[in-house]
Structure 1
Amino acid sequence: MIKGKNILLGVSGGIATYKVLDLCSRLKKEGANLKIIMTEGACKFVTPLSFETMGKCKVYSDMFEGHHDKVHHIELPKWADVFLIAPLTANTLAKMTYGIADNMLTASILACDKDIIVAPTMNTNMLNHPATQKNLKTIEDRGVYIINPLLGMLACNTRGDGRMQEPVNIVKYLDYYFTKKDLNGKKIIVTAGPTVEKIDYVRYITNKSSGKMGYNIAYEAFKRGADVKLISGPVSPFEVDCVDKVNVNTNKELKDEIDKEFDDADALIMAAAPTDYKVEKPSDVKIKKDGNNLNLELIENIDILKYFGDKKNQQTLIGFAAETDDLINNAQKKLEAKKVDYIIANDLKKKGAGFDVDTNIASILSHKSIEKLNMMTKRELANKILDLLV
């Protein structure tokens, strides 16, 4: 997690310098402590005052300023938990590669014994030049983490590689970097969202599940080092490009996809909301109105949680109970009947809980205990659930 971390931010001089103001703002909102070093070139694009305002910290740019008490290019890396350089220009990259220390930023890089993360940006031809590619390979071999640039429109009015990663993605990278990898080696299947069952060619039965809980669990598990398989109904509350995801519609499709992964999985977290009933004889054509009521024969759908409760051996199985009344009693019954290890229960009628909100109020039930939790974000609850697997 980024909160409370000391991030030394090095800013070199490129057109992407202005985007780093947004990065500073995002890091502060995440609770990071910042100190900033700017090159002379960076100061030509954006004033140090702007960075001091957004970062709420002192900006260092003069190699020879204030050395009567501390040698800043030595002390700043000591303070840092990580040294982030964004943007990293071709010029600063070349100096970094060959150990040139002719300004405050490059001297600090040379003095740094902490992890260094860089976000390169430059013209496509500069990026793909053999010298630049060799320099990137050299620093990567030394253990520097590289946030690869994007394909996009560049300041030189050309489209190609070399666009600095967006600040939101750099923050996500840092969040991943700082997260303890306590689920390394574990394979976790996570399901999310609703399923749908056909009524006719255009109509279907479904429910209000947004998928937010399952997506948060999958993303947080990835950050904690797990091998994650996300099986999602027809929702996409946010992007999880880093996670191996497969999309499904019906209960049968959901069950079949889980079955492909289940035998060698360490855990199945069933955050999806499968449809309990389906139409016995769905129509292959659109049913037309004829002035009469439409009667549908609904039959019970396959109970996916019970199926895998009966099948599991070494796997940890975690289910969910979304109820409107008698929450704990109904959740306990589900815990026993489905043969799961834990049930995450929440009352859909409570404000701040349930579907399509970013918070939840849950209780975690096992065969030995009940833990009632206060309202928290679904991201926080995701980590509480994942703690059960550590």
Structure 2
Amino acid sequence: MSEQDVTRTYPRHFLRAAVGGVFFLPGLIFASWASRIATIQQTLHLSDAGLGAILFCIPVGLILSLPVAGWLISHIGSRRLVVLGLIAYAIALIGLGAAPNVPILIACMIFYGFASNSVNIAVNTQAVAAEKLYEKPIMASFHGLWSLAGFVGAGLGTLMIGKRIVPLHHFIYVAIAVVFGLLIARKYLFDDKGPSEQGPAFVLPDRSLIKLGIIAFCSLICEGAMFDWSVIYFKKVVSAQGAWMGAGYTAFMCTMAMGRFVADSFSHRFGLKRTLQVSGLLTATGLIVSVIFPYIATAMLGFLLVGFGVSSVVPMVYSAAGRSKTMSPGMALAAVSTIGFVGFLVGPPVIGFIAGAFNLRVSFVLIAVMGLCVTGISSKVKL
């Protein structure tokens, strides 16, 4: 089925709504896990360095998914991979909540990383197909729904903690909601299943795609740091108490969601390169502010800037990758998103290692450098 066939079957806004839905669902899964990391850390008596080591298992799952995700995209299509991947992702979430000890938690995290990367590639391939039906960029708005889901998931996590509901029961409720939403959205997704492509499961991307992947990598290190360490940073560095421990995470999620809903218009007006340059500077500035002035008001301001900074980088990079002239959209996205997503998953454990050797403030300074790298590399790439 081509993009034109989609509009003959049902209006294009049906596809856009369905794709938005399958962006929201994995965002809800991820935010649900992120909101309970501190609880699981306390339950299993993990130090910061120990938690960092455990989190490093998620990238292991991602790496294992590389050849499989590329093969699946080319053989069964992104719609089927969305369905299979989201179900696996929901199951992995339940496993994280049920893990009674560190070895089982490690196994569940590997599976979680495997499923998350598969879903990431599949939903972005769907987004590229939907964007082709419109005359202006819409990719960032899809990622905005992922961020909005993160905000909803964070709020739900706070509620579950307040009600003293254990992570397992919390995650089961989320998994049921995800499966229900998937059943609704599946019918309207773009069916790109075609004749199976022959050749290797994973093909090395060209230089332009590698540069796009590196930009995503640097930005996603910053984004991953915010998801996994913002609450801990506010607790241990800012010395926030009670509900204020989640204030930084909430501030970050709010501006990240807002930024993604305006990024398409900004990019359309000022260009992709300028958008990426400004994004990197905002990210670095926000992190430095939160390190130099570790107080609730100033740290919140810094996290607000980081949210705006990271909001548009990944959507813009993925949109550019989907227009590759050397690879199919699915394979190009598999290559670029994989490079970028390694940063998203590797960043948090690296922060844990650095925090164990020094402290969290030193970790956040090094993460700020990644924001500057986004600006620097974007300035040298033809976009």
Shorter-chain TM-score bucket reads: under 0.3
Report 1 or 2 for greater relative contact order, CA contacts < 8 Å, sequence distance ≥ 6. Answer: 2
Instruction: State which structure, 1 or 2, has the greater radius of gyration over its C-alpha atoms.
Output: 1
Instruction: Select the structure that is richer in strand.
Output: 1
TM-score normalized with structure 2 length: 0.22
